[in-house]
């Protein structure tokens, strides 16, 4: 594990957070940031786009690629993995929009 990974993930987070906010989501980091970056996206206002649109925008911001697998989690949350290369990846959990589905 590289000691620079937390710094690298913090830079990704800053850029992703700005874009998520534009798309109606709040984005939060959690976990140690040693192996990967765990992020939670929460619909924040009525402008929140679909989870698919959000995931695509996060890929665009990072320059990574989205793994095709969508994992359903408790409370309607879905998880997507964004591969960044060099053994770096982001686990993105997206909470559902109320009345908007997933």
Buried residues in 17-29 as b, exposed as e (16+ CB within 10 A)? bebbeebbbebeb
* Tens of pLDDT, residue by residue, the chain (102 residues): 456 778 889 899 999 999 999 999 999 998 888 889 999 999 999 999 999 999 999 999 999 999 999 999 999 999 999 999 888 999 999 999 987 555
Which CATH class name applies to 5-94?
A: alpha beta
49-78: per-residue pLDDT in tens? 999 999 999 999 999 999 999 999 999 999
Domain boundary assignment for the chain:
5-94
Percent of the residues in the chain that have a pLDDT greater than 70, as a whole number: 94
How many angstroms separate the CA atoms of 73 and 14, rounded?
25
Percent of the residues in the chain that have a pLDDT greater than 90, as a whole number: 75
In a 13 Å sphere around the CA of 87, the CA atoms on its Cβ side amount to: 7
The CA dihedral of 47, 50, 25, 15, to the nearest 10 degrees, is -120
How many angstroms separate the CA atoms of 20 and 55, rounded?
9
Burial of 92 by CB count in 10 Å (0-12 exposed, 13-18 middle, 19+ buried)? buried
């Amino acid at each position: 594990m590289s000691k620079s990974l937390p710094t690298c993930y913090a830079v990704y987070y800053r850029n992703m957070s700005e874009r998520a906010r534009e798309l109606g989501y709040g984005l939060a980091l959690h976990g140690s940031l040693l192996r990967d970056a765990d992020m939670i996206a929460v619909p924040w206002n009525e402008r929140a786009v679909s989870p698919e649109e959000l995931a695509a925008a996060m890929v665009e911001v990072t320059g990574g690629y989205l793994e095709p697998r969508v994992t359903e989690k408790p409370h309607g949350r879905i998880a997507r993995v964004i591969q960044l290369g060099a053994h770096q990846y982001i686990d993105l959990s997206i909470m559902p929009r109320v009345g908007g589905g997933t």
